[in-house]
């Protein structure tokens, strides 16, 4: 059924099991991409290019950063329809991305040993230590020369330290780093690009322990059990507003039909 899991897959299953099924098992095509996903993807691609240039000793200009960001944005626009939130405008998001890149370029940057580093490590039982027969796959956004894991995020509201401390994804990355490099990471830094009226970048430091790794492994093991048992529970929440599968989801399809019927009766 599945041959690997990623931190994002585990998070999606926990958020909404039915969306996980639609996306990863049924592999249903998505009719659109949310503006938030497109923005985050374009920013990540630009930051990857920036650090690759730095590693090769090349000079990076702000103009070139803008070009990379714009090119990635428009390539995604060609591939899929972009859904914007109410009141959002494409040009405003593009300008916000450029403003964030301006701030980022002016910051001090540590030496890095790699960016967008792929990893594949075994998942093991949190109780016995036996391999579960499935791998954990992912990418480190950045690893600095001293062994610090750097993760880039975009958010509408600045992430809090407590939110960062509880993120399952960071426990997964810390676990993967220790297996790959045979030692713990120096720490984890989350660089949060906040899409506020006045864009800003906030860096938050955190760390993970063996206890966090065990907690992550237990969660991954339970998620794997749920998937293999064909348990895909739909969950409603704020994420439903931007869900690509809302037209076929049994939790929202009925509501949409009622709203359409109500609007038709009002029109008549």
Query: What would the pLDDT profile of 47-89 be if each residue is shown by its tens digit?
Result: 999 999 999 999 999 999 999 999 999 999 888 899 999 889 9
Average pLDDT, the chain: 92
Q: How many angstroms separate the CA atoms of 66 and 49, rounded? A: 11
pLDDT at residue 261 above 60?
no
Backbone region of residue 11 per phi and psi (left: phi > 0; alpha: psi in -120 to 50; beta: other values): alpha
pTM as predicted? 0.91
- 1-25+112-235 CATH, one of 3.30.2130.10, 3.90.1200.10, 3.90.320.10, 3.30.360.10: 3.90.320.10
Residue 211's H or E segment, with its range, is: helix 210-228
pLDDT at residue 260 above 70?
no
Q: Where are the domains of the chain?
A: 1-25+112-235, 31-109, 238-267
Q: How confident is the model at residue 257 (pLDDT cuts 50, 70, 90)?
A: very low
Q: How many angstroms separate the CA atoms of 20 and 223, rounded? A: 11
Whole-number Cα distances in Å, 148 to 115, 187, 197, 208? 12, 5, 30, 12
Q: Specify which residues 224 forms β-bridges with.
A: none
Residue 89's H or E segment, with its range, is: none
Whole-number Cα distances in Å, 13 to 16, 26, 154, 224? 5, 14, 21, 10
pLDDT at residue 184 above 60?
yes
Q: What is the pLDDT of residue 139?
A: 97
Whole-number Cα distances in Å, 107 to 86, 94, 101, 205? 33, 20, 10, 16
Query: Is residue 88 classed as helix, strand or coil in its secondary structure?
Result: coil
What size, in residues, is the chain? 268
**Helices and strands: H and E segment counts in the chain:** 9, 8
């Amino acid at each position: 059924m599945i041959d690997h899991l990623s931190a994002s897959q585990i998070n999606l299953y926990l958020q909404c099991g039915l969306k996980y099924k639609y996306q990863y098992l049924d592999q249903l095509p998505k009719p659109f991409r949310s503006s938030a996903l497109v923005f985050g993807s374009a920013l990540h691609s630009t930051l990857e290019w920036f650090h690759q240039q730095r590693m090769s000793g090349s000079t990076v200009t702000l103009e070139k950063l803008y070009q990379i960001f714009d090119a990635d944005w428009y390539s995604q626009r060609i591939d899929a329809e972009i859904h914007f939130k109410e009141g959002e405008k494409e040009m405003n998001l593009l300008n916000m991305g450029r403003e964030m890149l301006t701030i980022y370029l002016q910051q001090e940057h540590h030496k890095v040993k790699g960016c967008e580093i792929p990893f594949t490590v075994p998942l093991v039982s949190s109780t016995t230590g036996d391999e579960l027969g499935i791998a954990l796959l992912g990418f480190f956004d950045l690893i600095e020369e001293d062994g610090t894991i750097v993760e880039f995020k975009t958010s509408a509201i600045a992430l809090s330290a407590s939110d960062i401390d509880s993120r399952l994804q960071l426990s997964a990355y810390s676990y993967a780093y220790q297996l790959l490099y045979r030692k713990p990471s120096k720490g984890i830094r989350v660089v949060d690009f906040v899409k506020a009226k006045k864009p800003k970048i906030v860096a938050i430091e955190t760390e993970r322990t063996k206890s966090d790794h065990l907690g992550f492994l237990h969660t991954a093991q339970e998620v794997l059990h749920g998937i293999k048992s064909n348990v895909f529970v739909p969950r409603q929440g704020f994420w439903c507003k931007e869900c690509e599968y809302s037209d076929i989801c049994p939790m929202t399809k009925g509501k949409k039909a009622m709203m359409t019927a109500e609007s038709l009766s009002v029109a008549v």
